């Protein structure tokens, strides 16, 4: 019988970005989550929100979630669904699932450590490495900086890269996509990401102008909650649509897949609520025959990619791994070499965030 949860604690940390993600995004906020069961076993997880909501997520963890989980089994798969139902009045996604991820990750870490295994081996390893693609938060980069980034991706051995689009002037997007295509050559795959910045008419105009550059996918072309416009866009273009960064439950993923919109799904491990729901979304994608390409969080997503049924492309965003951000105590759990990601087979998740006495300062 699984021992009950005895303790749940959180710490809030801020990590400066070497290259800001925008004028107002110069650091990221992490919530380290520690869970202890009645036998004294400890698991370490985390939650993450780049700019908004960290205090709300921490409050959800320290009140509603802690109050409900203490005394219940320290088993992520057993308690995820009833906890989500308990919290659903506060929202089915967003702060609710982002907070749940901290607990879920800590419980999976605890379980894998108890088994003396990495999380990939604990889940059932299927492969030892997965393809990674070069990515970056680069919409605000001057053209020369974007070109230099593309050159770094080529030098690093990536066979696919992704750049941001959605500038106010479509001509600027065209110039930038053309420049990146010239750098990476015709043999590498090129993806673009609009981060929900277009309306339907804007998306149609943009895709007419950008499709000739040979696009692997267009990511988040429209508001994530506008399914009807996604259907109309999918009917009008040949480039596959990738969605999921801002979808929060398997129900929404199923809606986008079954509507014929999502040919690539991109769950963010924290936003969907952790490993437990991620595995369900991965099974859904495999059953429906659509591709799986997790959003960011390479340190986690690459480890899970070793264990899911289908081959997975993982996102290697420049300066965005936990190791590059300098938030880890110990070795990096995932290493990217020559366009391939492999895990270090560290115990559990292999992720332990520094405390306030390390390189990071506690956030106020």
At the second CATH level, the architecture of 121-343 is: Alpha-Beta Barrel (3.20)
Domain range annotation of the chain: 5-116+355-362, 121-343
Which of the following is catalytic: 44, 122, 164, 230? 164
Q: What are the pLDDT digits (tens) for 232-254?
A: 999 999 999 999 999 999 999 99
Let me know if 295 is a catalytic residue.
Answer: yes
CA atoms within 13 A on the CB side of 105: 35
Asked if residues 242 and 293 have their Cβ atoms less than 8 Å apart, the reply is yes
Residue of 122, 162, 230, 295 with catalytic role: 295
Scored b (16 or more CB within 10 A) or e, 216-234 reads bbbbbbbebeeeebbeebb
Please say whether the beta carbons of 266 and 294 come within 8 A: yes
Q: What angle do CA 131, 27, 49 make, to 5 degrees?
A: 70
The burial class, CB within 10 Å (0-12 / 13-18 / 19+), for 255 is: middle
Classify domain 5-116+355-362 at the CATH class level. alpha beta
Computed over every residue of the chain, the mean pLDDT equals 93
- Based on the residue annotation, tell me whether 44 is a catalytic residue of this protein: no
What the block records as the tokens of 242 is 């990738």
Provide CB contacts within 8 A for 270, sequence distance 6+.
46, 47, 48, 49, 98, 101, 297
Those residues whose C-beta lies under 8 Å from the C-beta of residue 294, and which sit 6 or more positions away, are 266, 267, 268, 269, 278, 301, 304, 305, 312, 314, 315
Tell me the pLDDT tens digit for each residue of 150-170.
999 999 999 999 999 999 999
* pLDDT by residue, tens only, the chain of 364 residues: 789 999 999 999 888 887 887 777 788 889 999 999 999 999 999 998 877 889 999 999 999 999 999 999 999 999 999 999 999 999 999 999 999 999 999 999 999 999 999 999 999 999 999 999 999 888 899 999 999 999 999 999 999 999 999 999 999 999 999 999 999 999 999 999 999 999 999 999 999 999 999 999 999 999 999 999 999 999 999 999 999 999 999 999 999 999 999 999 999 999 999 999 999 999 999 999 999 999 999 999 999 999 999 999 999 998 888 988 889 998 999 999 999 999 999 999 999 998 754 443 334 3
Two tokens at 152?
Answer: 């770094």
CA 152/CA 163 separation, integer angstroms: 13
* Residue in this structure with the two tokens 């295994």, named with its chain if needed: 117
Task: Map the chain to HEC letters.
Answer: CCCEEEEEEEEEEEEECCCCCECCECEEEEEEEEEEECCCCEEEEEEEECCCCHHHHHHHHHHHHHHHHCCCECCHHHHHHHHHHHHHHHCCCCHHHHHHHHHHHHHHHHHHHHCCCEHHHHHCCCCCCEEEEEECCCCCCCHHHHHHHHHHHHHCCCCEEEEECCCCCHHHHHHHHHHHHHHHCCCCEEEEECCCCCCHHHHHHHHHHHHHHCEEEEECCCCCCCHHHHHHHHHHCCCCEEECCCCCCHHHHHHHHHCCCEEEECCCCCCCCCHHHHHHHHHHHHHHCCEECCCCCHHHHHHHHCCCCCCCCEEEECCCCHHHHCCECCCCCEEEECCEEEECCCCECCCCECCCCCCCEECC
Tens of pLDDT, residue by residue over 308-333, are 999 999 999 988 889 888 899 989 99
Query: 212: exposed, middle or buried (C-beta count within 10 Å: 0-12, 13-18, 19+)?
Result: exposed
């Amino acid at each position: 019988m699984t021992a009950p949860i005895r303790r749940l604690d959180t710490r809030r940390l801020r990590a400066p970005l070497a290259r800001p993600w925008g004028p107002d995004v110069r650091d990221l906020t992490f919530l380290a989550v520690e869970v202890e069961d009645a036998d004294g076993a400890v698991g370490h997880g985390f939650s993450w929100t780049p700019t908004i909501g960290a205090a709300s997520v921490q409050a959800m963890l320290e009140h509603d979630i802690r109050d409900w989980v203490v005394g219940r089994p320290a088993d992520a798969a057993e308690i995820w669904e009833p906890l989500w139902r308990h919290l659903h009045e506060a929202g089915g996604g967003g702060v609710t699932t982002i907070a749940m991820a901290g607990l879920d990750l800590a419980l999976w870490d605890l379980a894998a450590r108890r088994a003396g295994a990495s999380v990939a081996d604990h889940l059932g390893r299927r492969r030892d490495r997965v393809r990674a693609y070069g990515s970056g938060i680069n919409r605000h980069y001057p053209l020369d900086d974007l070109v230099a980034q593309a050159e770094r991706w080529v030098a690093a051995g990536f066979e696919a890269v992704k750049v941001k689009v959605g500038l106010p002037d479509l001509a600027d997007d065209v110039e930038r996509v053309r420049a990146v295509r010239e750098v990476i050559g015709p043999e590498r795959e090129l993806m673009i990401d609009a981060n929900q910045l277009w309306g339907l008419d804007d998306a149609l105009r943009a895709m007419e102008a950008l499709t000739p550059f040979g696009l692997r996918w267009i990511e988040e072309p429209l508001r994530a909650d506008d399914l009807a416009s996604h259907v109309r866009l999918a009917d009008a273009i040949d480039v596959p649509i990738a969605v999921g960064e801002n979808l929060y439950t398997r129900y929404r993923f199923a809606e986008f897949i079954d509507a014929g919109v999502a040919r690539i799904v991109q769950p963010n491990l924290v936003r969907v609520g952790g490993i437990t729901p991620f595995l369900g979304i991965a099974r859904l994608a495999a059953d429906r025959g659509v591709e799986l390409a997790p959003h960011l969080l390479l340190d986690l997503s690459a480890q899970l990619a070793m264990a899911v049924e289908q081959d997975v492309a993982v996102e290697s965003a420049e300066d965005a791994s936990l190791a590059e951000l300098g938030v880890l105590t110990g070795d990096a759990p995932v290493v990217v070499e020559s366009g391939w990601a492999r895990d270090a087979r560290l115990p559990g998740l292999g992720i332990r965030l520094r405390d306030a006495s390390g390189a990071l300062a506690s956030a106020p």
